[in-house]
Amino acid sequence: MDHLDIIETPLAELAPVGFKRIALGVEYKGSRYRGWQRQASGVLTVQQTLEEALAKVADSPVSLMCAGRTDAGVHACGQVVHFDTQAERSLKAWVMGANINLPHDVSVTWAQVMPAHFHARFKAIARRYRYVIYNDQIRPAHINEEITWNHRPLDVERMRAAAQSLVGTHDFSAFRAGQCQAKSPIKQIHHLRVSQHGKMIVLDIRANAFLHHMVRNIAGVLMTIGTGERPIEWAAEVLESRVRRTGGVTAHPYGLYLVQVEYRDEFPLPERFIGPHFLTGFSELGG
């Protein structure tokens, strides 16, 4: 299987001869950044910030590939990236060296040497996001850039019931952004859980892949149903319409976290808690 996988991997995706492929676990607070991807305009992005920090450790330019290109304002606590380098550094040096040179809102959590055919994006078999809603009449003064505040009371049972119609393999055209570049709108949602923890409501969604704004559009639909503004059946109606404008408003990016990326067993990676950090005490969220 490994040998076949190497043969089937396009040459452009392999680490060049003489280079090591290093994978990193990365977490960041996205509210200060215009998303993951480096932009020609020179605006602040996570990719540029991390590449510049790693270049100081490698003493040479570093180019990163990530598992999920998060949007402006979106956070991550389970992002996976890789880069190729000829620099000889210990794994601890990659982690600690990067973190010394990174701002307070980006951290490297682990480093690991990978096979030449590993690819953070194309070898991923599943991704998992959590969307965190703070449900109270008064907006919170703390963590207000790390949650989505909804002042209207939300009925979690209604949201939970509506969510079940989205689980499975479907055409999610009604939940994709107009600028989405994915080749196919058909994705498989493995689970979509809705849980409540005090004033926080957490949507936990795992799928083989996601469309642009898919989780935020799902969150918008479920919150609309949670307020009673729309019936539970509306989620299924939006899905079946395959038309984006039927799905209402795209939810705010601040509540969204990329929490986990999964790969086949041939690519074992270090395991950490499923974040974000302020939810790690809620054992009922599960792994």
- The set of catalytic residues is 71
- Pick from 69, 93, 92: which is nearest to 80 by CA? 69
Q: Is the peptide bond before 276 cis (omega within 30 degrees of 0)?
A: yes
Contacts of 124 (CB under 8 A, 6+ apart): 67, 80, 209, 261, 262, 263
Whose tokens are 């096979």? That residue is 115
Q: What is the 8-class DSSP label of residue 249?
A: P
Contacts of 12 (CB under 8 A, 6+ apart): none
Angle, to 10 degrees, between the axis of helix 214-226 and the axis of helix 156-163?
Answer: 130
- Pick from 19, 22, 81: which is nearest to 49 by CA? 81
State the distance between the two ends of the chain, measured CA to CA, in whole angstroms: 28
Contacts of 218 (CB under 8 A, 6+ apart): 163, 166, 175, 192, 203, 205
Structure-block tokens of residue 210: 């996601």
